[in-house]
Structure 1
Amino acid sequence: MAIAFGFYMAWSIGANDAANAMGTSVGSKAVSFREAVIIAAIFEFAGAMIAGGGVADTMRSGIVDPALFADPTLFPAGNGAELFIWGMMASLISAALWLHIAAYLGWPVSTTHSIVGAITGFGAVSVGIANVEWLKLLTIAASWLTSPLLGGVLSFIIFLVIRKAILDAKNANLGLRLVSPILAMPVFMTLTLVLFTKGLKKLHGTFAEYGIGNIEMIGISALVGVLSSLVLAFAIRKIHIAADESSESKYAKIEKVFRYLQVITACFVAFAHGSNDVANSIGPVAAIVGTLETMDMTAGKVPIPSWVLLLGAVGIVVGLATYGYRVIETIGTKITEITPTRGFAAEFGAASTILIGSHFGIPLSTTHTVVGSVIGVGFARGMNALNLKIIINILKSWLYTIPFCGILTIILYYLFTAIFV
């Protein structure tokens, strides 16, 4: 049951959350849906398998202490470990079901918030409301505001720079050749840092063994940024925009350059997503497997077996390929019209926000950040460029996530324990 529920959860993450990484690229027509699936399959799978391992929190984000299930005062019958297993089963299936429903409706919702809401409901009825870390839950819920706001502001600023310095510049030729490489440097430095801090965080201990600390990571990221800037400058040297060239032709040449940049940024985001969010599907599975093997509730974290990691990686890729088109359509076309320059600005804004959140320990939702970033680039063209009806529906879905998953988990927990315990 844990394997089946875990795969369904991974499938649901692929159908909903993984679509965020590729939504703007498909919406801007930088890649087709089929190409997006291939790119995401490679990088999501690689991220999950290369850097998604290590250990998983048995209780996501410390909402409930697993050691409580070994407390004889709370569980005098000594069945705490068994109840924990069924609680995690209920959490998995309710979070997966909510992600599936949201994907069907085209709502991009947070996987982390889904599993946190589910575990909150399970914790409240199993170890008591007093033992739930409500302050941590409020901190996570606060990211509903901070994630999209910060992502939106940064993307808004980045797109204004692109528009003023390149798209609307009197000398577009000079703007493209001069500003694009300058923009590429911080973009790829940021993406590499995101890769280190979020995508490869499970490997930090390995890096330390080779003497690679924070300063070295910043240095490597800066070097990647400089090299990327030089490569871009070399690649676009032959592009020429004449002074009397039509606006359509000028924009087509500029968007073509940013199309390639956007695809590269999407690859970074997909890898980071695969490595980081695979834990949302396989973490509870690893917790159930670890508990079944040892029945020890004192360990806060458990090792992730390779087969469990593979289960999550395959599930995410299959979910994106079979059902991700609905959320991709919402992100890429329904919120606002996306072009490669706008998509590039949105992905850079989202990546920068994720980096800032990781550095300061702020719990940010990748989904909310991407949506906020897309709204930001749309707002740069005025309120009329935004589909407010879609945005309001998305905001409502974010508010529904935690209570829906929490209540459904409680119902399933009582159902499972009545049948099996």
Structure 2
Amino acid sequence: MPADGQTETRQQVNQWKTLDKDLGRIGRLEEATLFISRPLVAPGLALVFVVLATVGALAVFGLDNSGWIVVAAAAVGAYMALNIGANDVANNMGPAVGAKALTMGGALAIAAVAEVAGAFIAGGDVVGTISGGIVAPEMVAEPHLFVRLMMSALIAAALWINLATALGAPVSTTHSVVGGVVGAGIVAAGFDAVNWPMVGSIAASWVISPVMGGVIAAAILAFIKARITYAEDKIGAARLWVPVLVGIMTGAFATYLITKGLKRVVSVDPLTALLLGCVLGALAWAISRPLVRRASEGAENRKKSLKPLFGLPLVISAALLSFAHGANDVANAVGPLAAVVHTVALGDVATSVELPLWVMAIGALGISVGLVLFGPKLILMVGSEITKLNPMRAFCVALSAAITVIVASWMGLPVSSTHIAVGAIFGVGFYREWHAERRARFLGLKKGKVLAPEERARRKLVRRSHMTTIAAAWVITVPFSAGLAAAIYWLLTLMSR
């Protein structure tokens, strides 16, 4: 029989084992709880932002004399800004992240700062209230009808963008707002109130934007391959042409920002903006020449050595795209809100209104918060799931976006920055497919081989399923937002009786 001391020792050991098992179970329970609650953190923080925006509007307007309408509009505007940040900004940062020029954390930080800076430094003081004349103002001259129309359009656009983000489809926030205005406008004032030629031009941009972006991006990539990638002296070719491409990129972005993003700071005509862009582009070319030479010293004569040379220009271009986006697209989030504030405060309907600082803050901060909380999913999809990107290909996408917007604006064509960026990614991918098949066929014929159909199918470098999903989302954006806004307007009308 064991001694009493041995029995006591065994009991102590068993107690410790039992305690360890209990602690292990508690630890696993805590891990499971954290795993389940993790998806709720982002929506919770988003709700906090909406509540803060609502409290801010309440402090400014109160609940007297229709102030509750402004408070409700502020909540919806904050929700809209969060969705724009979750969806639209992915087009700016996705290529840089997909090319591994930026980490996800770095991309989120740069984009958040650039979006806020663009909105506050270069955001417009005056915004259009009916999305560029989509609905005739005289047809909704009654303040209560106008406020209801703006609220319906804002709610419908925000809900659609939220759904599109959940489905992993980058869509145009401008088109979403326009669709909402069209649908609510039809219910409020009839079909004759809608400027249908303007709606038709927007529909045409579904094709114009991605095609232009894709063609220009493919042309830039073809140039890089011909002049640098397949040159015998790759490093020497890079030292010659990379500064030229950096100069073109700088000139394009400078022209773009001067004409589109800096109206609040300075207003210049397109020709002057182009001349200033050329001067800044030449300056960037001169500065980048010694930098590229220094960065390429000791590099091997191989394609892998070329990728780091495009890394820094790609990061800068992504930051500039986010700055321009904050300057231009913040009105999509807060334009209808500013219209509601103006109408409630002054009691009249205006085609354009001043943008109060607190309204601008809701839009700018909401876009950045939405990007940080919900943006990574779409950033990864845009940057790495459509086609494989490296710094050279991603640089082509960024440069194409700037050039396409400038060319389209000079031609008077309505384009979407979202459609341009995504179209440029597809353009790069399809060009790579065509080029790879062409080289394989050439080498096969040279060796007396014929490329089998199965091998040709295996060489597809663009994921077709994403192309179908994105194209479908683009096509239904305006009709879906319009139908949803019409239903919301009808419900708001019933509630007001």
> For residue 308 of structure 1, what is the aligned residue in structure 2?
359
Deviation at 1:348, TM superposition (A): 0.5
Query: Which of 160, 166, 172 matches 1:104?
Result: 166
Provide, for residues 44-77 of structure 1, a one-character-per-residue CA deviation record: whole Å limited to 9, x for no partner. 111111111321111012110222222xxxxxxx
Q: Distance in 1 between matches of 2:298 and 2:102?
A: 28
> For residue 76 of structure 1, what is the aligned residue in structure 2?
none
Query: Which of 474, 478, 483 matches 1:407?
Result: 483
**Counterpart check, 1:393 vs 2:472:** no
SS at match of 2:488: helix
Q: Distance in 2 between matches of 1:214 and 1:333?
A: 35
* Contact persistence 1:83–1:417 (CA under 8 A): no
* Contact persistence 2:243–2:292 (CA under 8 A): no
Query: Which of 99, 104, 127 matches 1:28?
Result: 99
Deviation at 1:374, TM superposition (A): 0.5
Q: How does 1:219-234 map to 2 (within 5 A)?
A: 219-234=275-290
Q: Give the residue type in structure 2 aligned to 1:358.
A: S
Provide, for residues 355-374 of structure 1, a one-character-per-residue CA deviation record: whole Å limited to 9, x for no partner. 11222221101000001100
Deviation at 1:252, TM superposition (A): 3.2
> For residue 6 of structure 1, what is the aligned residue in structure 2?
77
Q: Distance in 2 between matches of 1:334 and 1:173?
A: 30
> For residue 406 of structure 2, what is the aligned residue in structure 1?
355
Bigger RCO of structures 1 and 2 (CA < 8 A, at least 6 apart)? 1
Query: Which of 86, 92, 95 matches 2:157?
Result: 95
SS at match of 1:64: coil
Q: Distance in 2 between matches of 1:61 and 1:318?
A: 27
Q: Give the residue type in structure 1 aligned to 2:335.
A: G
Provide, for residues 153-182 of structure 1, a one-character-per-residue CA deviation record: whole Å limited to 9, x for no partner. 000000111112112211101111001111
Provide, for residues 343-401 of structure 1, a one-character-per-residue CA deviation record: whole Å limited to 9, x for no partner. 00011111100111222221101000001100111112116111111111100011111
Q: How does 1:22-421 map to 2 (within 5 A)?
A: 22-70=93-141, 80-203=142-265, 206-207=266-267, 213-240=269-296, 245=300, 250-297=302-349, 299-382=350-433, 384-421=460-497
SS at match of 1:302: strand
Q: Distance in 1 between matches of 2:182 and 2:264?
A: 25
- Aligned-CA RMSD value: 1.5
1:37/1:239 CA distance change after superposition, 3 Å: closer
Percent identical across equivalent pairs?
Answer: 40
* Contact persistence 1:172–1:241 (CA under 8 A): no
* Contact persistence 1:15–1:316 (CA under 8 A): yes
Q: Give the residue type in structure 2 aligned to 1:413.
A: Y
1:242/1:309 CA distance change after superposition, 3 Å: closer
Q: Distance in 2 between matches of 1:2 and 1:214?
A: 36
Q: Distance in 1 between matches of 2:140 and 2:428?
A: 47
Deviation at 1:93, TM superposition (A): 1.0
Q: Distance in 1 between matches of 2:224 and 2:271?
A: 30
* Contact persistence 1:53–1:309 (CA under 8 A): no
TM-score, normalization by structure 1: 0.92
Q: Give the residue type in structure 2 aligned to 1:390.
A: H
Query: Which segments of 5 or more consecutive residues in structure 1 lack a partner in the other structure?
Result: 71-79
Provide, for residues 180-215 of structure 1, a one-character-per-residue CA deviation record: whole Å limited to 9, x for no partner. 111222221011001011212344xx44xxxx5444
Q: Distance in 2 between matches of 1:44 and 1:351?
A: 17
Q: How many residues align?
A: 401
